[in-house]
């Protein structure tokens, strides 16, 4: 029998790529999702299409990291071999507006999950392997460059503070209770499925819409920030590899190259023969009270122990995102033209 995985945050960018990966490896995948007044499964709908054919290997369960009882119930129903905790209020700027909510979901929510797994393991004797989505944001005002597993944390946002708490709880459950628990300290990773309010997707979506005459301005914040940007499809593979090792540990996952928001803008707009200086305006609403200026990761440990390496450069990633957003913009243009004909 194949393994059983539970993914929290299954409707998010990483949740969708990880679901694809695990289904391809023969896992039965269970996803925890929140109830909302609109559909939130757009990123995984294509994986759900075989549901009438008997062999249903993706099942969704309503639950919320804030609702400890729902988390416990899902663990005992699903009986997972592996749990990937990807759920989060993951937007850094928003975390300044909602610091308490962010802390509750990101840190207390993770403890709900760890406690549920520990009790389930203790009452059944079944080992459950746990992956925690830690973040390069924890390095914040960086203490050294590049950042490794040994670089001290200096979080610069409510989101990053909450992730530091969840990170150390994960280490503590490993050391105190012998849980097989790993932190993946992932640097920024993007894709055509990236949420539209994160800067890379905001840029590629706007560039494509500007090309099709669907918008004329793009409002951004700090263009000088630098990030180590990789492809989300590569990064979920690193998550899986961590849980296949003999011993649990923590790993940095990064490309080892850092680019500024300005460079990403250049790449996206020039690929469409556009000049971003004609359309971009700086809007102070998108600045942060405290900024993370430069992130650059050293993923040597992941390369040596997990055999992991990134497959796309920032430029290739940017082109992939622009191409996908061009298709969306073209569809939008066609719809707009059709509605004028009616
Ligand atoms: P994302 O697209 O924002 O997805 C977040 C997911 O969490 C969504 O499925 C969301 O559900 C769910 N969620 C939010 N609050 C929840 C709650 N209270 N209970 C249950 N589910 C909840 O994020 P992502 O980019 O895929 O990132 C995945 C994880 O990696 C996050 O923990 C993020 O903080 C972390 N991370 C991301 C990056 C990156 O560059 N992408 C880097 C390092 C770490 P809805 O669909 O209902 O909103
Ligand atoms: N979102 C956004 N919107 N960011 C902007 C904008 C804008 O209009 N203009 C400039 N930026 C700058 C931000 O100030 C930041 O320095 C950089 O672009 C990247 O912002 P985001 O794309 O929002 O990502 P992030 O680095 O803050 O956080 C992402 O990566 C983390 C890993 O380092 C998120 O995915 C986090 O969940 C993740 O942990």
Task: List pLDDT tens digits, range 264-279.
Answer: 999 999 999 999 999 9
Confidence of residue 342 (pLDDT cuts 50, 70, 90): low
Question: 């009986």: which residue's tokens?
Answer: 79
Q: Is the pLDDT of residue 129 over 60?
A: yes
- With a 6 A CB cut-off, is 183 part of the ligand 1 pocket? no
Q: Is the pLDDT of residue 19 over 80?
A: yes
Q: Is the pLDDT of residue 100 over 60?
A: yes
Distance 74 CA to ligand 1 centre (A): 18
Distance 197 CA to ligand 2 centre (A): 9
Nearest residue (by CA) to ligand 1, atom 20, is 64
Return the SS3 of 119.
helix
pLDDT value of residue 49:
62
- With a 6 A CB cut-off, is 87 part of the ligand 1 pocket? yes
Q: Which residues contact 195 (CB under 8 A, 6 or more apart)?
A: 12, 13, 90, 91, 201
CA distance 97 to 76: 35
pLDDT value of residue 93:
98
199-225+258-294+312-341 maps to CATH 3.40.1710.10: no
Confidence of residue 50 (pLDDT cuts 50, 70, 90): low
Sort 140 into a burial class: Cβ within 10 Å, 0-12 / 13-18 / 19+.
Answer: buried
- Residue 61's nearest CA partner among 82, 42, 76, 43 is 76
| Lowest model confidence (mean pLDDT) among 36-50, 72-86, 289-303 | 36-50
Nearest residue (by CA) to ligand 2, atom 37, is 90
- Residue 148's nearest CA partner among 20, 44, 250, 54 is 250
pTM of the predicted structure, to 2 decimals = 0.97
User: Which of 14, 85, 92, 97 is the pocket-test mutation for ligand 2 (most atoms within 8 Å of CB)?
Assistant: 92
- Residue 85's nearest CA partner among 42, 135, 119 is 135
Residues of the chain with CATH 3.90.25.10: 199-225+258-294+312-341
37: its two tokens:
């007044």
Whether the Cβ atoms of residue 93 and residue 286 lie closer than 8 Å to each other: yes
Whether the Cβ atoms of residue 137 and residue 292 lie closer than 8 Å to each other: yes
The arithmetic mean of pLDDT across residues 201-213, rounded, is: 98
Confidence of residue 339 (pLDDT cuts 50, 70, 90): confident
Residue range 237-264, pLDDT digits in tens:
999 999 999 999 999 999 999 999 999 9
Whether 135 is catalytic is yes
Residue range 55-69, pLDDT digits in tens:
678 999 999 999 999
Question: 């706007």: which residue's tokens?
Answer: 206
Kindly report the CATH class assigned to 4-192+230-253.
Answer: alpha beta
Residues of the chain with CATH 3.40.50.720: 4-192+230-253
Confidence of residue 51 (pLDDT cuts 50, 70, 90): low
Whether the Cβ atoms of residue 248 and residue 129 lie closer than 8 Å to each other: yes
Distance 257 CA to ligand 1 centre (A): 24
Distance 87 CA to ligand 1 centre (A): 4
Q: Which residues contact 241 (CB under 8 A, 6 or more apart)?
A: 302, 306, 307, 308
Tell me the ligand closest to 258's alpha carbon. Answer: 2
pLDDT value of residue 336:
86
Q: Is the pLDDT of residue 54 over 70?
A: no
């Amino acid at each position: 029998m194949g393994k059983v995985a539970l993914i929290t945050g299954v409707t998010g960018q990483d949740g969708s790529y990880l679901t694809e990966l695990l289904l391809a490896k023969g896992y039965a995948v269970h996803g925890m999702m929140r109830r909302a007044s609109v559909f939130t499964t757009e990123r995984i709908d294509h994986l759900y299409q075989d549901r009438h054919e008997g062999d249903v290997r993706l099942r969704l369960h309503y639950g919320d990291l804030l609702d400890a009882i729902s988390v416990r119930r899902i663990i005992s129903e699903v009986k997972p071999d592996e749990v990937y905790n990807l759920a989060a209020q993951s937007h850094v700027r928003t975390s300044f507006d909602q610091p308490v909510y962010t802390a509750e979901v990101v840190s207390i929510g993770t403890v709900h999950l760890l406690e549920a797994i520990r009790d389930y393991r203790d009452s059944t004797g079944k080992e459950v392997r746990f992956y925690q989505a830690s973040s390069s944001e924890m390095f914040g005002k960086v203490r050294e460059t590049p950042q490794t597993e040994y670089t001290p944390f200096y979080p610069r946002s409510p989101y990053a503070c909450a992730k530091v708490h969840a990170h150390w709880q994960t280490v503590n459950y490993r050391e105190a209770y012998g849980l097989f628990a790993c932190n993946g300290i992932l640097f920024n990773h993007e894709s055509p499925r990236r949420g539209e309010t994160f800067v890379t997707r905001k840029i590629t979506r706007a560039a494509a819409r500007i090309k099709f005459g669907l918008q004329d301005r793009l409002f951004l914040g700090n263009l000088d920030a630098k990030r180590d940007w990789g492809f989300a499809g590569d990064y979920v593979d690193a998550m899986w590899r961590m849980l296949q090792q003999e011993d649990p540990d923590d790993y940095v996952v990064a490309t080892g190259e850092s680019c500024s928001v300005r460079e990403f803008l250049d790449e996206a707009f020039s690929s469409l023969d556009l000049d971003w200086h004609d359309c971009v305006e700086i809007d102070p609403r998108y600045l942060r009270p405290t900024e993370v200026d430069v992130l650059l990761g050293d993923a040597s440990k992941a390369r040596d122990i997990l055999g992991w390496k990134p497959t796309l450069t920032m430029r290739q990633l940017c082109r992939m995102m622009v191409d996908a957003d061009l298709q969306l913009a073209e569809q939008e243009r066609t719809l707009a033209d059709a509605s004028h004909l009616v």
